């Protein structure tokens, strides 16, 4: 019986983990490299635990030296800027519609942003593709 209690206590306690911290002040929109991050032996919820999780990503907010890097503080590098003219694409089966739009936010590949269709002046949401186009509609 005592063995089971000890086993349960070991399983219930959180495993020690490291937290990723910035080694210098990093401005928003900078792409992170290996020298920009370090590990601190501390467990904080909502933060990165490995520098490899952030290398090559872009800082979405200013990251201050010695402070933990949160999961939402980094993201894919932006390829579409606010107010940029982008191709809009809608496809459903054999139907394909293309138009031009103005991006209302900045974003990277896979991000969902709002775009104003320049022809109809309506605002739609779509996912940014690898080529910088924004795909709207089902499955995007």
Q: Write out pLDDT tens, residues 103-133.
A: 999 999 999 999 999 999 999 999 999 999 9
All residues at 6 or more sequence positions from 121 whose CB lies less than 8 Å from its CB, including other chains: none
Residue 90 contacts residue 97 (beta carbons within 8 Å): yes
| Overall domain count for the chain | 2
* Same domain, residue pair 20 and 66: yes
Residue 4 counted as domain residue: no
CATH number at residue 59: 3.90.1210.10
Q: What is the maximum alpha-carbon separation in the chain?
A: 73
Residue 6 has pLDDT above 60, yes or no: no
The pair of structure tokens assigned to 91 is 């496809």
Q: Write out pLDDT tens, residues 61-111.
A: 999 999 999 999 998 899 999 999 999 999 998 999 999 999 999 999 999
* Same domain, residue pair 71 and 83: no
Separation between Cα atoms, residue 103 and residue 23, nearest integer Å: 33
Separation between Cα atoms, residue 4 and residue 95, nearest integer Å: 62
* Same domain, residue pair 87 and 47: no
Using a pLDDT cut of 90, give the percent of the chain over it.
79
Separation between Cα atoms, residue 77 and residue 112, nearest integer Å: 14
C-beta atoms surrounding 3 within 10 Å: 7
CATH number at residue 83: 2.30.30.760
The pair of structure tokens assigned to 44 is 């904080």
Residue 5 counted as domain residue: no
* Same domain, residue pair 127 and 93: yes
* Same domain, residue pair 26 and 68: yes
Residue 78 contacts residue 60 (beta carbons within 8 Å): no
* Same domain, residue pair 84 and 121: yes
Residue 124 counted as domain residue: yes
Q: Which domain holds residue 105?
A: 78-136
């Amino acid at each position: 019986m005592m063995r089971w209690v000890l086993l349960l206590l070991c399983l219930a306690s959180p495993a020690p983990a490291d937290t990723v911290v910035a080694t210098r002040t990093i401005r928003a929109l900078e792409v992170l490299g290996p020298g920009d991050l370090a590990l601190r032996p501390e467990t904080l919820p909502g933060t990165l635990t490995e520098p490899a999780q952030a290398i090559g990503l872009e800082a979405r907010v200013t990251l201050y030296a010695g402070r933990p890097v949160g999961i939402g503080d980094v993201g894919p590098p932006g390829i579409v800027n606010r107010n940029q003219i982008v191709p809009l694409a809608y496809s459903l089966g054999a139907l394909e519609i293309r138009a031009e739009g103005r991006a209302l936010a900045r974003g990277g590949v896979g991000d969902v942003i709002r775009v104003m269709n320049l022809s109809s002046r309506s605002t739609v949401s779509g996912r940014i593709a690898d080529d910088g186009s924004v795909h709207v509609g089902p499955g995007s």
